[in-house]
Structure formats: structure tokens, C-alpha cells
């Protein structure tokens, strides 16, 4: 996709938190690194009243707050010249005509448009329909552009039906190749590294299957609680907020078949194939829980049964993974923030050292640490020196911070905005992948919502979740792993 034309980024809902906290710091940082395409300008559009200068000052304070290490007054002064503001209501078709007049005045040559919907999900359909009515979706039928891209933030619907409905509306106005649905986990360097780790090396892929792997675990733990987001969260819950998107995307990256190329659709085809191979999730394979004190959060309904933690056991019915359980868990108010994928390998079939019973034996484990201590751990057995047959598990570690010490890992939004500007949709979720994920998560929510089947466990903030999550693995003699260690009980600090 050519970037030879200048680009106007139109941020709808520009006075909101996302613009100040993420979008402008990401664009500023691209500019600082000289990676923002030449001729890029930003127009903020929303209902609040701002002059250009007041809007810029509002954004500058956001940059100082959320990206303080990168703020430089002189750099900001040149960057902010690219930013202007237009007041308007995205539900009013006439306001789009005013916007067109502004664009006509500013744009002296054919210009690409990136429409960023930083707005409440309830407004997506109207904003998209209005963009269509105003003709702002139309690309010239020339290879050289200019293009029209639309960026949509999660949540993509609140269930399968509403996500299909949203996708239908989007497709009435934009072609799929104009649509960039953001799952910010895909913008994390370490999540992207999963594919490089698997497919740019030869030694891991031969053992990445049911013949060698005992189980796979994905943990996305957060130490923060619901905070000031009670009203949104109480309607969403952990399954919609984290599983349908971030955890399903991590699952597909770790379990998919190798694509033939790094082309966006080649990758996305394999991801959706994987999600379609996941067996429908059974209620006994689910644990849902709520932390003590959640119900007193502002915006949360009295006696709410919204889960803030979930652990699921999934099966992937294909040749590679048949019989290998995938354990996924995520929650708020947990012991600490950590996102990690652990591949636990099978134990050796026969142990000739020490006791022949290998029930306490620690198997090989490989952990891909997505955040915060980004890196990789490989755990294996070593002979304890000066003993006859004693063994101990040792850890071979790679930390991004040690190896790439001169490179700060960029914020996910930097990657994602750059890719959307360059027209590479690899890191964005395609409509079929979103629908496949809803097909898996929807029935869990539905069956669980039915009070006769839905059991809600409880856990103390600061722990690793409810005991029931341990029991989910314990039934099959397994334990949750973190950093290639074991934390046997949810209340035990991890190793």
C-alpha cells in the first residue's frame, strides 16, 4: 500500500481519554523516531469545545503524564503544528459535510484518510454509516490510492450476534481490506515475537505438538482491580473484556499452523482455522469467580454476579493438538501483573536417575513472557554438582532488557498506528476471527448466566484467584506455572 500521498488522521471522539493517553503519545513517538510518514496531519473531532491551541495543550499534558521520558518541548512544538481540532457531532450527517469542507481546504493534493473511532462502541454503527453517507469511505479505483482506512477499537460487539451485526454495517460501507480492528495485545512486540520464536527457529517446532507437549497455559493476570471502570466492566466481565479478544489471539498465535508467508491474510487464515478447531467449551471445564469487594465498586450493580476472573480448559481438535489441554486464565486484583504463555513438555518415559518414581519430577518448560519482564525461559534438569544422582531444575533465561538494552519496547499503539498508516493489516483482527472467538465464548457466558448452572467462586484480592482454578488442573495432576516455576496454591506467592 503506497504511502506516497500525505495522510490525514481523523480521530473521532478526540476529546476522550484514549486520544490523550495512547494515540497522541504513539503518534508523537513515531514522529520523534522519524517514522511518521511525511505529510501526516491529525484532526481531532468531537463534541467538546476546543480551540486548536486549547486542544494541543490538553494533548501535551497527556503526553507529559503518559510518556514523560519521551517529552521534549521543542519536538512537541513542531509536532503540535500537525494537530488541529474541529467541533462536531458524529451522529449528525451535516457535521460530516462541514468536515469535508475543512478537509478540502486543508488538503492541497490527493490525501489518504485514516478514520480512528475512539468513541463509545454504541456509536460505531452510526459513525460508520455517516462516513458512508458522506462518501468518505470511497477510494479512487487506482492502485496508487489515496486510500481510506477505518480503525475500530474493541469491544467488537458484546456477543456473536451483535458482532455480526457490526461487521455487516462495516461491510456495507468499507471493504474488509479498509478495516483495521485493534486488539492492542497484537501490537505488543513480545506477542509478535511468538511467530518469530516458532517459525524463525528450527529446534522448537518439531516438539510443538501432542507428541511432546503435555499442556499449554496462558496467564493474563492483572494486579489492578476494576477501579473507575465499574459501569463498563459490570456489563462486560472478564470473558468479554479479556478472553474473547486478547486470550483468544494469544491462543491462536501459539497454536496455529505455520503460514506459508508473512502476508496478512496468510497469517489470519491460520489463526481463524485454529479458533475454529477449538472444541465447544464445557461448563465443568470453566471456573468463574469474583474478587471480594467487587460489588462495592462505583458503577457495579448491587449483588452483581459479573466474573472478574476466569480459568478455562480448552481442547483443540486437530492433528497437532488432539488430547493436549490448553489452560487459560485471566483476572483482576490478582497477585501481580503478568502475561505469560507456558508450554509444559511431557516427562521422560523412563527415569534412570535417583528414584524411579518421577511424580515429583519437574518437566521441561518453556515460557514466553509477554509482560512485564519480557523474555523467554527454558527450564531443564541438571545434575547437582558433587552428588551422585541429584538433579535440579535450572532455568535458561533471555530477557529483552539485557539483550536489547538500547531499545525501549514501544507501546502497542505505536506499532498499530504505523501499520494502519502503512496499510499492513497483519496485526489487526479480521471479522471471521472475531466471530470464531465469540462462537467459543458466547455459550460459556450464556450457560453460566443461567443461575442453575452458573457457580460463581470467590477470591481474595492479591491472590492468584480461587481454589477452584487450582482444582481445574489438579484433577489431572497438573499445576499452574509462572516464569517456569510452580505456584501450587493460589495463595502462595509464585516462585
Catalytic residues, by residue number, are: 246
Residue closer to ligand BG6 by CB (options 99, 238) is 238
CA neighbor of 335 nearest in space, from 219, 493, 451, 187: 493
Q: Are 153 and 117 in contact (CB under 8 A)?
A: yes
d(CA 199, CA 211): 19
Give residues with Cβ within 8 angstroms of 162, minimum separation 6. Answer: none
For residue 398, which phi and psi values (nearest 5 degrees)?
Answer: -125, 125
- As measured in angstroms, the least distance from the Cβ of 287 to ligand BG6 is 19
Q: Are 96 and 130 in contact (CB under 8 A)?
A: yes
- Ranked by CB distance to ligand BG6, the top (closest) residue is 241
- As measured in angstroms, the least distance from the Cβ of 339 to ligand BG6 is 6
Q: 167-203: b or e for each residue (b if 16 or more CB lie within 10 Å)?
A: bebbeebbeeebbbbbbbbbbbbbbbbbbebbeeeee
Q: CA 30, 33, 38, 42 torsion: positive or negative?
A: positive
- As measured in angstroms, the least distance from the Cβ of 328 to ligand BG6 is 15
Give residues with Cβ within 8 angstroms of 222, minimum separation 6. Answer: 330, 331, 332, 333, 334, 337
Residue closer to ligand BG6 by CB (options 55, 438) is 438
Site string for ligand BG6, 281-320 (x = CB under 6 A): ----------------------------------------
The β-bridge partners of 370 are: none
What residues numbered 337-396 form the site for ligand BG6, per CB under 6 A? Answer: 339
What residues numbered 20-49 form the site for ligand BG6, per CB under 6 A? Answer: none
Residue closer to ligand BG6 by CB (options 249, 362) is 249
Residue closer to ligand BG6 by CB (options 336, 392) is 336
Residue closer to ligand BG6 by CB (options 58, 184) is 184
Query: Does residue 153 touch ligand BG6 according to CB under 6 A?
Result: no
Site string for ligand BG6, 164-193 (x = CB under 6 A): --------------------x---------
Q: Are 234 and 304 in contact (CB under 8 A)?
A: yes
Q: How many CB atoms lie within 10 A of CB 402?
A: 9
What residues numbered 214-233 form the site for ligand BG6, per CB under 6 A? Answer: 222
Q: Are 331 and 238 in contact (CB under 8 A)?
A: yes
Q: How many CB atoms lie within 10 A of CB 66?
A: 15
What residues numbered 96-135 form the site for ligand BG6, per CB under 6 A? Answer: none
- In this structure, what C-alpha cell is assigned to residue 3? 504511502
Give the pairing type, strands 338-345 and 213-221: antiparallel
Residue closer to ligand BG6 by CB (options 79, 180) is 180
Residue closer to ligand BG6 by CB (options 222, 270) is 222
Residue closer to ligand BG6 by CB (options 222, 435) is 222
Q: Radius of gyration (Cα) for the chain, nearest Å?
A: 24
- 456: exposed, middle or buried (C-beta count within 10 Å: 0-12, 13-18, 19+)? middle
Residue closer to ligand BG6 by CB (options 173, 445) is 445
- In this structure, what C-alpha cell is assigned to residue 372? 512485564
Number of residues that bind ligand BG6 (CB under 6 A): 4
- As measured in angstroms, the least distance from the Cβ of 241 to ligand BG6 is 5
What residues numbered 226-265 form the site for ligand BG6, per CB under 6 A? Answer: 241
- As measured in angstroms, the least distance from the Cβ of 184 to ligand BG6 is 6
Please give the residue ranges that form the binding site for ligand BG6 (CB under 6 A): 184, 222, 241, 339
Amino acid at each position: 500500500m503506497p504511502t506516497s500521498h500525505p495522510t490525514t488522521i481523523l480521530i473521532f471522539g478526540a476529546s476522550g481519554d484514549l486520544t490523550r493517553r495512547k494515540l497522541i503519545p504513539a503518534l508523537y513517538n513515531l514522529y520523534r523516531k522519524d517514522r511518521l510518514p511525511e505529510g501526516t496531519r491529525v484532526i481531532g473531532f468531537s463534541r467538546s469545545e476546543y480551540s486548536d491551541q486549547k486542544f494541543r495543550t490538553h494533548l501535551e499534558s497527556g503526553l507529559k503524564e503518559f510518556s514523560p521520558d519521551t517529552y521534549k518541548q521543542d519536538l512537541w512544538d513542531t509536532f503540535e503544528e500537525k494537530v488541529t481540532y474541529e467541533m462536531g457531532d458524529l451522529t449528525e450527517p451535516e457535521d460530516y459535510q462541514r468536515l469535508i469542507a475543512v478537509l478540502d481546504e486543508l488538503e492541497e493534493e490527493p490525501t489518504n484518510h485514516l478514520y480512528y473511532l475512539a468513541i463509545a462502541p454504541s456509536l460505531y454503527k452510526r459513525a460508520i454509516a455517516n462516513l458512508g453517507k458522506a462518501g468518505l469511505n470511497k477510494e479512487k479505483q487506482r492502485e496508487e490510492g489515496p486510500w481510506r482506512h477505518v480503525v475500530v477499537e474493541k469491544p467488537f460487539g458484546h456477543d456473536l450476534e451483535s458482532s455480526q451485526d457490526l461487521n455487516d454495517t462495516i461491510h456495507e460501507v468499507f471493504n474488509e481490506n479498509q478495516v483495521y480492528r485493534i486488539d492492542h495485545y497484537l501490537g505488543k512486540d513480545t506477542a509478535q515475537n511468538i511467530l518469530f520464536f516458532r517459525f524463525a527457529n528450527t529446534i522448537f517446532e518439531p516438539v510443538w505438538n501432542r507428541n511432546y507437549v503435555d499442556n499449554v497455559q496462558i496467564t493474563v493476570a492483572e494486579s489492578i482491580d476494576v477501579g473507575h471502570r465499574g459501569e463498563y466492566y459490570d456489563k462486560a466481565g472478564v470473558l468479554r473484556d479479556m478472553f474473547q479478544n486478547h486470550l483468544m489471539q494469544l491462543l491462536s498465535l501459539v497454536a496455529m499452523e505455520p503460514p506459508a508467508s508473512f502476508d496478512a491474510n496468510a497469517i489470519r487464515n491460520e489463526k481463524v482455522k485454529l479458533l475454529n478447531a477449538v472444541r465447544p467449551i464445557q461448563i465443568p471445564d470453566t471456573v468463574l469467580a469474583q474478587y471480594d469487594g467487587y460489588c462495592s465498586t462505583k458503577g457495579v450493580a448491587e449483588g452483581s454476579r459479573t466474573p472478574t476472573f476466569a480459568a478455562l480448559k480448552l481442547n483443540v481438535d486437530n492433528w497437532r493438538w488432539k488430547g493436549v489441554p490448553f489452560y487459560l486464565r485471566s483476572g483482576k486484583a490478582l497477585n501481580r501483573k503478568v502475561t505469560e504463555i507456558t508450554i509444559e513438555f511431557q516427562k521422560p518415559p523412563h527415569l534412570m536417575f535417583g528414584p524411579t518414581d518421577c511424580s515429583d519430577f519437574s518437566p521441561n518448560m518453556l515460557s514466553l513472557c509477554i509482560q512485564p519482564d519480557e523474555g523467554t525461559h527454558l527450564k531443564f534438569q541438571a545434575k547437582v554438582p558433587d552428588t551422585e544422582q541429584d538433579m535440579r531444575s535450572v532455568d535458561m533465561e533471555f530477557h529483552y532488557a539485557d539483550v536489547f538494552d538500547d531499545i525501549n519496547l514501544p507501546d502497542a499503539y505505536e506499532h498499530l498506528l504505523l501499520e494502519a498508516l502503512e496499510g499492513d493489516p497483519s496485526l489487526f483482527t479480521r471479522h471471521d476471527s472475531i466471530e470464531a472467538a465469540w462462537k467459543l465464548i458466547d455459550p460459556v457466558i450464556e450457560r453460566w448466566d443461567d443461575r442453575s448452572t452458573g457457580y460463581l467462586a470467590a477470591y481474595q484480592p492479591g491472590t492468584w484467584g480461587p481454589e477452584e482454578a487450582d482444582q481445574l488442573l489438579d484433577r489431572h495432576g497438573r499445576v499452574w506455572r509462572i516464569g517456569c516455576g510452580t505456584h501450587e496454591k493460589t495463595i502462595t506467592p509464585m516462585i
